[in-house]
Amino acid sequence: MKPEETLVHVSSLPVGEVLPAFEEEFGRSLTDLFSQMVRMGPYPKSITAPPGAICFLARDGVEKRLCVLSSGAKESPFFQEAEGHASTAAAGGDTYQVKVCELTHANALTLRKHIPFLRPRTAGLEKSIGLGDRLGLATPGHARAVAGTGVTPFFAQQSIREMERTHRTPDEVMDCASFGTLQEGFRAGFGSDADHLKQPEHIDYTAAAGFTMFTVDPGDHVDSDSDSDDDAALMKKYEGLPWSDLEISAADCRKLYVGRPMPGGIEAFGEKHLLRAAAKYGKAVAHTVKMYRHARTVMRRRPFELEMSVDETATPTTVYEHFYVAAELRRLGVRWVSLAPRFVGEFEKGVDYIGDIDYFRTEFEKHAAVMKALGPYKISVHSGSDKFAVYPVAAELADNLVHVKTAGTSYLEALRAISMIDPPLFREILAFAKERYPEDRATYHVSAEAERVPDPNDLKDADLPGLFEPDRIDAREVMHVTFGSVLTTKKPDGGWLFYDRFMAALRGDEEKYYGVLESHLGKHVAPFAD
Ligand code: ZN
């Protein structure tokens, strides 16, 4: 079949089906034909045939457009609903209707409505990785990093805190994921994680944008002081738990746990274990149950998955505490797909594990035993970027029942790309980041000191990318936690300090950004790959 015949062929197909990806050579000749018709450069992998039409993303200078073609032989709902500038174009002696559309929210909704692989899906127990993208440009690079590995990506993932810091909405996060997925023609499906939700209204806000995973963070209800409380204080806290919310009495809860055997050769549950676990996590369990029930009401028949995360608390989660939390959630009818304990050692942002990896291994093995006994569910590793020492341990001991969450590392890769694309801009950003760091570090778990980061003016262009090497902890952390200030600070005249130049540099040389993402995130995925 010749490329121009494809259009006629597509129009006569039964409505309701999206054609599989075009094979490579044929796709290339289609790309040539389409570039003549729309006078823009189509992204070859984006060519997709929703019912009755063909669509693709194309590059027009540094802007991107959604192009939709229809032979007009049959009405295509997709063509009708796409909002854009309509015209006609000739190919192979026939005339076709063409719509050139902006990448708006309305067009993202139309794409998701008609093309299933552009809608997020639940991942269940598939091994998976969260790939937060604070800029909305990273999905094609993320797709390349996971392609063919058997690891399910979460292209749409952002916490409420990050959305506030970057002035983004859940719709924007979702739309960027869909457009990026189309551009790269990634058809294996992706997940979407509304991360670190603390209040029921956070579920409403993100469910409305189509998110399918809710990560409940009951950290505000965790009592980390319980770790060092004496017996009397623990007893008092235990008696004072919200027992009606927990739907059990203090006495019955004691009967349920004290003396209960533990999996993995771990000593049985003692009274002290229960008092400490309940005092520390009892209110967090009650809050998680409330959030889960709210999610069920909001989602009704729509499939969703829930993660419970306590990774951002002050002290590590012991294996008894993990057991208590999981057993209580089960007793209260919560269905969850993953659980993120706070592990031993330090999980600082953007750098490798800090601590004794053998001790981590011993503790992780116990957590994995509890997970297998009370689940299975996935063990979720938050602040998961750049934890290269941890991945092989997690993959082995949890039998790949793992979800790894990354976000800031993709922002760091954007800066790495900018250090190569536009060294003067990068120097300005680094100098600003050093200045902002003392204030911006406050809500993050980091140990870098700005004074230990070199003055950018002392570095040659060729040395700038070296600041991103894994052992440059100070430079990495200083740049990591200042993303909000870098992306949202304005000049006295109201213009952006960096945002527009930052995005223009990446858009101008997007292959550079995709290349560093593929390489860096690829290293994260490799230990879990098929
Ligand atoms: Zn987290």
Amino acid making up residue 276: R
pLDDT at 13: 52
CA of 316 to the centre of ligand 1 (A): 14
CA of 449 to the centre of ligand 1 (A): 23
Domains of the chain with bracketed CATH: 3-116 (no CATH), 117-409 (3.20.20.70)
Query: Where is average pLDDT lowest: 41-55, 395-409, 450-464?
Result: 41-55
DSSP, residue by residue, 87-142: EEEEETTEEEEEEEE---HHHHHHHHHH-GGGS----TTS-EEEE--SSS--HHHH
From start to end of 29-103, where are the E strands? 41-42, 54-60, 63-70, 85-91, 94-101
Q: Taking residues 194-208, what's their average pLDDT?
A: 97
**Please, are residues 503 and 425 in contact by the beta-carbon 8 Å criterion?**
no
pLDDT at 91 exceeding the cut of 80: no
* Summary mean pLDDT of the chain: 94
73 falls in which pLDDT band (50, 70, 90)? low
CA of 130 to the centre of ligand 1 (A): 11
pLDDT at 5: 67
Q: How many CB atoms lie within 10 A of CB 106?
A: 14
Q: Taking residues 427-434, what's their average pLDDT?
A: 98
CA of 528 to the centre of ligand 1 (A): 20
Q: Measured between alpha carbons, how far is residue 238 from residues 244, 276, 341 in Å?
A: 13, 8, 21
Q: Coil, strand or helix: which one is 152?
A: strand
Which of 356, 374, 357 is CA-nearest to residue 319? 374
Annotated catalytic residue 307: yes
Q: Taking residues 207-225, what's their average pLDDT?
A: 97
Tokens read off for 342: 């706070």
From start to end of 424-520, where are the E strands? none
Please give the Cα distance from 46 to 36 (Å, whole number).
Answer: 17
Please give the Cα distance from 24 to 44 (Å, whole number).
Answer: 9
Longest alpha-carbon distance in the chain? 88
CA of 425 to the centre of ligand 1 (A): 31
User: Which stretch, 161-165, 169-173, 307-311, has highest mean pLDDT?
Assistant: 169-173
Query: Which residues surround the ion ligand 1 when the cut-off is CB under 5 Å?
Result: 311, 382
10 falls in which pLDDT band (50, 70, 90)? low
pLDDT at 520 exceeding the cut of 90: yes
CA of 9 to the centre of ligand 1 (A): 48
Residues in the chain, how many?
530
Strands 41-42 and 54-60: antiparallel
CA of 229 to the centre of ligand 1 (A): 26
CA of 18 to the centre of ligand 1 (A): 36
CA of 312 to the centre of ligand 1 (A): 6
Annotated catalytic residue 195: yes
pLDDT at 443: 81
Write 429-435 long-range contacts (CB < 8 A, 24+): 429/479, 429/486, 429/498, 429/502, 430/456, 430/467, 430/475, 430/479, 431/455, 431/456, 431/457, 432/482, 432/485, 432/486, 432/489, 432/497, 432/498, 433/478, 433/479, 433/482, 433/485, 433/486, 434/478
CA of 259 to the centre of ligand 1 (A): 33
CA of 311 to the centre of ligand 1 (A): 6
pLDDT at 137 exceeding the cut of 70: yes
Catalytic residue among 162, 184, 305, 307: 307
445: left (phi over 0), alpha (psi -120 to 50) or beta: beta
CA of 290 to the centre of ligand 1 (A): 20
The residues, ordered by sequence, that sit 6+ positions from 434 with a Cβ below 8 Å of its Cβ are: 450, 453, 478
447 falls in which pLDDT band (50, 70, 90)? very high
pLDDT at 216 exceeding the cut of 60: yes
State the Cα angle at 487 between 506 and 173, rounded to 5°: 75
pTM listed for this prediction: 0.95
Catalytic residue among 4, 133, 172, 195: 195
Q: Coil, strand or helix: which one is 339?
A: strand
CA of 382 to the centre of ligand 1 (A): 5
**pLDDT per residue as tens digits for the range 282-291:** 999 999 999 9
**pLDDT per residue as tens digits for the range 232-256:** 999 999 999 999 999 999 999 999 9
pLDDT at 2: 67
Q: Taking residues 13-38, what's their average pLDDT?
A: 77
**pLDDT per residue as tens digits for the range 360-419:** 999 999 999 999 999 999 999 999 999 999 999 999 999 999 999 999 999 999 999 999
pLDDT at 240: 98
φ and ψ of 241, to 5 deg: -65, 155
Please give the Cα distance from 102 to 290 (Å, whole number).
Answer: 40
CA of 384 to the centre of ligand 1 (A): 9
pLDDT at 180: 98
CA of 340 to the centre of ligand 1 (A): 8
Give percent above pLDDT 90 in the chain.
Answer: 85
